[in-house]
Chain A
Amino acid sequence: MLAAITLLLVYQLLGEVVALVFALPIPGPVIGFAALFLTLVARGTVSDGLRDTANGLLAHLSLLFVPAGVGVMAHLGRLREEWEPITAALVVSTAVTIGVTALVMQALIRWKQRRSSR
């Protein structure tokens, strides 16, 4: 478990350093996430310790959002002022995103099936 946590932190640190050195607008942990994924693909296996630690951390993923969420305190004024555009954007965009994603994926699956059955 200690080795797994260290590994996650090393990849995060690596990501932060890459983001800083190349002045990338991508968050460091995201680069660490991509680098770890590629490492796993290259190695072809995940150790039990790493899988258990990751599962443990991700099982309580929603807890980790709470401190940042409480920061809404500082934005109550903005939310009160802009609640109409914010609410409309969230509702419309979420529905449209679900619909478009599903339709595109379904169309491509059917297209692939038609091509392979020909």
Chain B
Amino acid sequence: MTPKLTDIWVYLSASPLLGLTITLVTYQGAYWIYKRANFHPLLNPVALSVAALVALLKVTDTPYQTYFDGAQFVHFLLGPATVALAIPLYAQLDKLKAAWLPLAGALAAGSAVAIASAVGVAWLLGADRTTLVSIAPKSVTTPIAMGITEKLGGLPSLTAVLVVSTGILGAVMAKYVLDALRIKDLSVRGFAVGLAAHGIGTARAFQVSEEAGAFAGLAMGLNGLATSVLFPALVWLAGWRSL
């Protein structure tokens, strides 16, 4: 019996089917837990899935590359999904036109502060350059952040982890920060969360109100665009080309 099972395992672990299927199954299990826990921000389904899959790969001694041969079919969809973000952004066109000045000002300030404060703090505490490049786009939605990091010599998979962590942190902290600053306007609250904590913050904002959610989605799209222009420009200005 045992050798037969081993044979099956050897066959399956060499085929992309296993990596792909296990990703889908694990994610749906994690999402079920998240839903059961009333969408508690600390039980983020991405964080749960990643933890479970890493544990599984470690236990079965499977290299990441073998897993990714299957999971790449899911990963590939990040590209078209990024392009698809144009559609919800277009749905906010009227709001964009009506409040373009406050939105543009908040976007410019928020985008610059997000990059500068992350890189600044990490640099002060002694992180190396690869980490600095990988952490800079941490507030941007993952597909865009990974694209930015990849172009500038960071580690896209490290960026993915940092982006997801930022999203969870932002979703947890937003209420306390905004209450402390006595910000009551729901459009302002939503925009700030979406800019700092991308999709995870946006999902959180939608649970509070439709208006906050719409502005969070808008901020997520705009900051993706702003950071992908601003960060390469900052890198160029800082003469970091030698990365």
Contact = CB atoms under 8 A, between A and B. Distances in A.
Interface of A: 5, 8-9, 11-12, 15, 25-30, 32-34, 36-37, 40-41, 46, 50-51, 53-55, 57-58, 61-75, 78-79, 82, 84-86, 88-106, 108-109, 112
A70 B54 contact: yes
Contact of A89 (B93, B122, B177): B122
Counting chain B residues whose Cβ lies within 8 A of the other chain, the interface size class is 35 or more
B87 A91 contact: no
A67 B110 contact: no
A37 B181 CA distance: 34
Interface of B: 23-24, 26-27, 44-47, 49-50, 53-54, 57-58, 64, 67-68, 71-72, 74-75, 77-91, 93, 99, 101-103, 105-107, 109-110, 113-114, 117-128, 130-131, 135, 138-139, 142-144, 146-148, 150-152, 155-158, 160-166, 169-170, 173-174, 177-178, 181, 183, 185, 188-189, 191-193, 195-197, 199-200, 219, 221, 224-225, 228-229, 232, 235-236
B196 A94 contact: yes
B45 A62 contact: yes
The prevalent SS among residues of A at the interface is helix
